[in-house]
Amino acid sequence: MDISINTFNTSGDRALLDPRTSIYAIIVISVVMIGGRLSGIEYILRVISCMIPVVFLFAKKNYKLGMIYFLLALLAMIIEGSAIQTSSGFLNLLLVIISGTISRFVPQFMMAYCFMSYTKVSELIVSLEKMHLPDVVIISLAVMFRFFPTIAEENRCVVDAMNMRKTKTKKFSLIERLEYQIVPIMMQSVRIADELSQAAMTKGLGINIHRTHICEVGFRYRDYLMIILLTAILLLFFIY
Amino acid sequence: MIDINNVTYTYNVTDAMGKRVERIALKNFSLNVKEGQVVVLTGGSGCGKSTVLRLINGLIPHYFAGELHGDVKVNNINVSTNPIYDTAKIVGTVFQNPKNQFFNVDSTSELAFNAENFGRNPDMIINDIDRVSSWMNLNPLIDRSMFELSGGEKQKIACASIAVADTPIIVLDEPTSNLDARGIEKLRKVIALWKKQKKTIIIAEHRLYFLKGLADRVLILKDGEIKKKMNGTVFDALSIAETTKLGLRAVNIEKISDKVRAITAKRTLGKRYISIENLEYVYPDGEHGISRKKLDIPTGAIVCIVGDNGKGKSTLAKCLCGLNKKAKGRVIYDTKQLPLRNMLEHCFMVMQDVNYQLFTESVNDEIQLSVDSKIEEECVNKSNEAMKMLDIEDLPKLHPMALSGGQKQRVALACAVASSKEILILDEPTSGLDYYHMIEVARVLKMLTDNNRTVIVITHDIELVNECADYVIEM
């Protein structure tokens, strides 16, 4: 039946951070975690950066994921801080691979996950408007976010339909499967896009109109704190 | 309020063969609507009623390609020269498909969307949302994901966002075609409230019973012209015989007729059954679900499953044909016992939206694909047989997606016939169909049972039930 697919926050709560701050945080964490070395000040910056998502996971009351991530990150940091420096040979290689996959890729992914779980699409749109992106880009982005769950829904129906057509003697090859799955989804998507544009026009959406918005988006103290922290990390990272 | 004078409109479209053709939608059509009136446009598919709505909300000429003669004025403003985002401030539109008319992922943003586009003050919008949600009972729908809502709930949000935007004119284009009985009742209440607030409302619809007592004027269209006009009182009093004669869906919907009930009662003895025992399915949310101790379905007949418990019926359909892998239960069929899952070998479901089921490039390929055989000759024979049975022999070369809705449905049914599956399940086969197409579906179903197949119809369309049911199971 209808499984809900939430790509973005749908509750009435205001986002924990302004979307612009969140995007900045994702960028800074990526830079530090992917590019940082394992010694000196860069190591300390890495420890701080990889713990930022923990704060937001806990703030969103996502304790289970928060704990799992915290322990994983802690493990990676401990390995990088001590074991890697002292071990050698195969063991060293193994430890580098384990801690590296966690520390270099997971934190920014977690931050992006946090961002999506506490931000509403409308908040993102408003903040993109504040960043003076052109309307054409913003409207396309808005439609894109709305389309992801739609395509997932459509896909489920098509898979059902395909299962019904399976017979004992005939098996679909991979290419056939792909064709039979993609064609109806594309046809449906075209239809949805057509109906959606009609709806958009009758709802008064257009390029170069002045829109207002009911969601509150703007910097608060926590945003400034976060920006100062992130900028400090970035500066230290590049200076040293 | 609305003045349409001598309008002739022609669509530029492409036909099934890919040729460009001109299709005349309206001929010398005039309509004047005063403030606060509720006008209903009805008639068979393609009679031009949706075109009238598109003239009012500006999609013609701003979106559809075609040729427009005559002028359309709304609030004394010429729609064709006025930018469509300005017309949007006067005319709100509710569309047919609840799925494809929302932009936001969360319901509250969707409620504000129209008003935000008009550039209205945010505090005012929030006030209006509060006001509208109290008179429309929206509280359970606030701050939800749009994707979790049922069709009826989505349609309610669509109406509510127009109420928040507070446009004086509201047009509704077949708003009930994807709704169940409960959704329709919700919509009826909204329209009644709007009527009290003196909104001008234009509705294009096949299904008429829910408009009883609401319509001030009713126009029956045929081939782009007004065939008959009547006022609200005459419309409300139309009997089934009269609407049938006019080729319309019933205004005075009755319950399941005594005739059908009598047939059901008489036939229950001495029949072979498919018995489903201990059927149980729980939705992913872990709270809701369906469960039935025993469900007996007679074979070789048209069995209608009716009742308006929202999503439950479509889920039941999926469980019955074994598509819900998490559904538990067993089936006794032909003295054999099988798990529910294995029903997939015997069942074929025609989905409410048949577009999901058509994969290939031609009707012929589509049907041959379903035949359970590797021998070329057998495939051809069986598919020809199926096409003949469903009267689609003249279509084999066409692309399935280029066909009309009714033809697509038949192609899907032909696939089922060709696959030699003996149980056919149809999920809401008549949603959004006019009277003639509904009768047509009933005829096809009867034909299938004459060929010894069991047809299970999941529906809330009482008119269809009365037309074709051998058995009725109420949920």
Q: What does the pLDDT look like over B37-83, one tens digit per residue? A: 999 999 888 888 999 999 999 998 899 888 999 999 999 999 989 98
Query: Is B121 inside a domain boundary?
Result: yes
Question: What is the mean predicted confidence (pLDDT) over B412-425?
Answer: 86
Residue B233 sits in the same domain as residue B98:
yes
pLDDT, chain A, mean: 86
Q: Give me the residue from B84, B106, B373 closest to A10, CB to CB.
A: B106
Query: Is A11 inside a domain boundary?
Result: no
Residue B417 sits in the same domain as residue B442:
yes
Query: Is B11 inside a domain boundary?
Result: yes
Question: What is the mean predicted confidence (pLDDT) over B76-101?
Answer: 90
Residue A114 sits in the same domain as residue A153:
no
Share of chain B above pLDDT 90, in %: 30
- DSSP per-residue letters across chain A: ------SS--SSPPPSS-HHHHHHHHHHHHHHHHH--SSHHHHHHHHHHHHHHHHHHHHTT-HHHHHHHHHHHHHHHHIIIIIHHH--HHHHHHHHHHHHHHHHHHHHHHHHHHHHHH--HHHHHHHHHHTT--HHHHHHHHHHHHHHHHHHHHHHHHHHHHHHH--SS----HHHHHHHHHHHHHHHHHHHHHHHHHHHHHTT--TT-----SS-----HHHHHHHHHHHHHHHHHHH-
Residue A99 sits in the same domain as residue A176:
no
**Which of B199, B222, B246 is the last residue before a domain boundary?**
B246
Residue with tokens 């918005």: A213
Residues of A in contact with B108 (CB under 8 A): 12, 214
CB B272 within 8 A of CB B298: yes
Looking from the CA of A23 toward its CB, the CA atoms found within 13 Å total 9
Residue A98 sits in the same domain as residue A132:
no
Residue B199 sits in the same domain as residue B124:
yes
The tokens for A41 are: 């000040």
Residue B164 sits in the same domain as residue B289:
no
Rg of chain A over Cα atoms, rounded to whole angstroms, equals 23
Q: Do B104 and A213 touch (CB under 8 A)?
A: no
Q: Number of structural domains, chain B?
A: 2
Residue B217 sits in the same domain as residue B355:
no
Residues of B in contact with A188 (CB under 8 A): 355-356
Residues of B in contact with A141 (CB under 8 A): none
Query: Is A5 inside a domain boundary?
Result: no
Q: Give me the residue from B101, B103, B318 closest to A142, CB to CB.
A: B103
Query: Is B253 inside a domain boundary?
Result: no
pLDDT at B173 > cutoff 80: yes
The domain that holds B357 is classified in CATH as: 3.40.50.300
Residues 6+ positions from B158 with CB-CB distance below 8 Å: B94, B95, B98, B101, B102
Picking from A25, A102, A80, A88, the residue whose alpha carbon sits closest to that of residue A56 is A25
A-to-B residue pairs, Cβ atoms closer than 8 angstroms = 195
Rounded to a whole number of angstroms, the distance from the CA of B473 to the nearest CA of chain A is: 22
Residue A31 sits in the same domain as residue A102:
yes
Residue A82 sits in the same domain as residue A138:
no
Query: Is A112 inside a domain boundary?
Result: yes
CB B298 within 8 A of CB B271: yes
**Which of B190, B213, B246 is the last residue before a domain boundary?**
B246
Query: Is A9 inside a domain boundary?
Result: no
Residue A195 sits in the same domain as residue A132:
yes
The model's confidence at residue A4, banded by pLDDT at 50, 70 and 90, is very low
Residues of B in contact with A179 (CB under 8 A): 359
CB B428 within 8 A of CB B458: yes
Residue B226 sits in the same domain as residue B263:
no
- The DSSP bridge partners found for residue B330 are B277, B339
Residue B215 sits in the same domain as residue B345:
no
Residue B302 sits in the same domain as residue B337:
yes
Q: Do B349 and A168 touch (CB under 8 A)?
A: no
Residue A227 sits in the same domain as residue A108:
yes
Looking only at the bridges linking them, the beta strands covering B225-231 and B336-339 are unpaired
Rounded to a whole number of angstroms, the distance from the CA of B24 to the nearest CA of chain A is: 21
Rounded to a whole number of angstroms, the distance from the CA of A227 to the nearest CA of chain B is: 28
Q: Give me the residue from B108, B119, B359 closest to A211, CB to CB.
A: B119
Cβ atoms within 10 A of the Cβ of B395, count?
21
Residue B303 sits in the same domain as residue B408:
yes
Assembly ipTM? 0.85
Question: What is the mean predicted confidence (pLDDT) over B87-91?
Answer: 92
C-alpha to C-alpha distance for B312 and B295, rounded to whole angstroms: 15
First to last CA, chain B: 46
Q: Do A196 and B374 touch (CB under 8 A)?
A: no
Cβ atoms within 10 A of the Cβ of A11, count?
15
First to last CA, chain A: 55
Residue A151 sits in the same domain as residue A60:
no
Nearest CA in chain A to B281: A1
Q: Do B356 and A7 touch (CB under 8 A)?
A: no
Query: Is A226 inside a domain boundary?
Result: yes
Picking from B96, B400, B456, the residue whose alpha carbon sits closest to that of residue A194 is B96
Residue B209 sits in the same domain as residue B347:
no
The single-letter DSSP state of residue B145 is: B
Picking from B305, B296, B297, B302, the residue whose alpha carbon sits closest to that of residue B263 is B302
Nearest CA in chain B to A10: B106
Q: Do A10 and B144 touch (CB under 8 A)?
A: yes
Rounded to a whole number of angstroms, the distance from the CA of B108 to the nearest CA of chain A is: 8
Share of chain A above pLDDT 70, in %: 95
Q: Give me the residue from B95, B109, B359 closest to A122, CB to CB.
A: B109
* Domain enclosing residue A51, as ranges: 19-119+217-239
Residue A115 sits in the same domain as residue A226:
yes
Cβ atoms within 10 A of the Cβ of B402, count?
15
Question: Which range, A148-162, A208-222, B157-171, has the best average confidence (pLDDT)?
Answer: B157-171
Question: Phi/psi at A37 (nearest 5 deg)?
Answer: -90, 170
Average the pLDDT over each of A84-88, A110-114, B98-102 and give the range with the smallest value.
Answer: A84-88
CB B433 within 8 A of CB B441: yes
Cα B414–Cα B420–Cα B426 angle in degrees, nearest 5: 55
Q: Do B85 and A9 touch (CB under 8 A)?
A: no
Residue B186 sits in the same domain as residue B110:
yes
pLDDT at B344 > cutoff 80: yes
Q: Give me the residue from A161, A206, A210 closest to B351, CB to CB.
A: A161
CA dihedral B181, B183, B185, B189 (to 10 degrees): -170
Q: Do A199 and B102 touch (CB under 8 A)?
A: yes
C-alpha to C-alpha distance for B279 and B251, rounded to whole angstroms: 37
Residue A115 sits in the same domain as residue A151:
no
CA dihedral B60, B65, B67, B68 (to 10 degrees): 10
Residues of A in contact with B315 (CB under 8 A): 1
CB A103 within 8 A of CB A36: no
Query: Is B252 inside a domain boundary?
Result: no
Segments in B371-434 forming alpha helices (H): 376-389, 405-418
Query: Is A8 inside a domain boundary?
Result: no
* Domain enclosing residue B316, as ranges: 258-474
Residue A113 sits in the same domain as residue A228:
yes
Q: Do B142 and A12 touch (CB under 8 A)?
A: yes
Rounded to a whole number of angstroms, the distance from the CA of B240 to the nearest CA of chain A is: 34
pLDDT at A113 > cutoff 50: yes
pLDDT of residue B262: 67
**Which of B212, B246, B280 is the last residue before a domain boundary?**
B246
pLDDT, chain B, mean: 86
C-alpha to C-alpha distance for B364 and B418, rounded to whole angstroms: 11
Query: Is A167 inside a domain boundary?
Result: yes
Nearest CA in chain B to A7: B105
Residue B21 sits in the same domain as residue B89:
yes
Residue A63 sits in the same domain as residue A153:
no
Q: Number of structural domains, chain A?
A: 2
Query: Is B251 inside a domain boundary?
Result: no
